[in-house]
């Protein structure tokens, strides 16, 4: 039995489910938690933006991937705190206290995630997903299915992160062009422009406290 099948079957279990089965259900949920974290949170926008900064320098391996992913995870937890708190209060704690069954926990827990994703996603992205599925768009936001809202949300996150990345890349591209023009004017055509521009870009980024500005900008882009 797959994890998805087990999770869907578990929705029909009563509140008095045995401890062994409840533990199995919780382990199943933990197994799919990384996919939920990536597809239904602010992680996608944050990690892509941080990667754009790294590529703007011309250093594809610095900072290393573990550092960027760790920073993205902490920033995701920070930006998702209100949503995660509501999910914990409405669904997780009542379920662990055996006050509700798993189906009620799913309904209550999906509401904060749906509200968060709907606040970020454009209507056109949702309409595009429903058009692909050949299903009419629901009349009310609460009727949007999570299975269709998640890809629309990811599409919007990719669009926003690429927009932020363009703004980040533009000044670094300008520095590269200026350095290349200066080297060409001096007749130093054999000198790689990156050799000169990289220290200048690093110095500029440090002087303007670039990491702080990037983090404030990407976190401020969430509604």
Q: How far apart are CA 214 and CA 46, in angstroms?
A: 10
Inter-axis angle of helices 146-185 and 43-57, to 10 degrees? 10
- What is the reported pLDDT for 22? 65
Name the one residue in this structure whose structure tokens are 């996150």: 157
**End-to-end CA gap in the chain:** 39
Element (H, E) at 2: none
In 3-state terms, what secondary structure has residue 54?
helix
- What is the reported pLDDT for 21? 67
In 3-state terms, what secondary structure has residue 144?
coil
pLDDT per residue rounded down to tens, the chain (223 residues)? 444 444 444 444 444 445 666 677 667 777 777 777 777 888 888 888 888 888 888 777 778 888 888 888 888 888 888 888 888 888 777 877 777 777 777 778 778 888 888 888 888 888 888 888 888 888 787 778 878 888 888 888 888 888 888 888 888 888 888 888 887 877 777 777 777 888 888 888 888 888 888 888 888 888 7
Q: How far apart are CA 91 and CA 84, in angstroms?
A: 10
Two structure tokens written together for 139? 């009349």
Q: Are 59 and 205 in contact (CB under 8 A)?
A: no
Work out whether the CA dihedral 88, 91, 92, 96 comes out positive or negative: positive
Inter-axis angle of helices 43-57 and 193-207, to 10 degrees? 130
Determine if the peptide bond prior to 63 is cis (ω within 30°). Answer: yes
Name the one residue in this structure whose structure tokens are 């197994």: 31
- What is the reported pLDDT for 2? 40
């Amino acid at each position: 039995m797959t994890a998805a099948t087990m999770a869907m079957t578990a929705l029909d279990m009563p509140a008095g489910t045995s401890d062994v089965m409840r533990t199995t259900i919780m382990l199943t949920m933990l197994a799919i938690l990384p996919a939920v974290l990536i597809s239904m949170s602010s992680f996608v926008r944050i990690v892509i933006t941080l990667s754009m900064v790294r590529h703007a320098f011309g250093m594809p391996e610095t900072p290393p991937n573990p550092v960027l992913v760790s920073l993205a995870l902490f920033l995701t937890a920070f930006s998702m705190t209100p949503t995660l708190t509501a999910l914990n209060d409405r669904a997780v704690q009542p379920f662990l206290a055996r006050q509700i069954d798993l189906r009620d926990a799913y309904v209550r827990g999906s509401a904060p995630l749906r509200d968060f994703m709907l606040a970020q996603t454009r209507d056109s992205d949702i309409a595009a997903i429903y058009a692909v599925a050949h299903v009419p768009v629901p009349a009310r936001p609460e009727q949007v299915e999570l299975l269709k809202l998640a890809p629309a949300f990811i599409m919007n996150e990719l669009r926003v992160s690429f927009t932020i990345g363009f703004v980040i890349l533009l000044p670094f591209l300008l520095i590269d062009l200026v350095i290349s023009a200066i080297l060409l004017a001096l007749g130093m055509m054999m000198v790689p422009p990156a050799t000169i521009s990289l220290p200048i870009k690093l110095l500029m980024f440090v002087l303007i406290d670039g990491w702080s500005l990037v983090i404030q900008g990407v976190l401020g882009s969430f509604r």
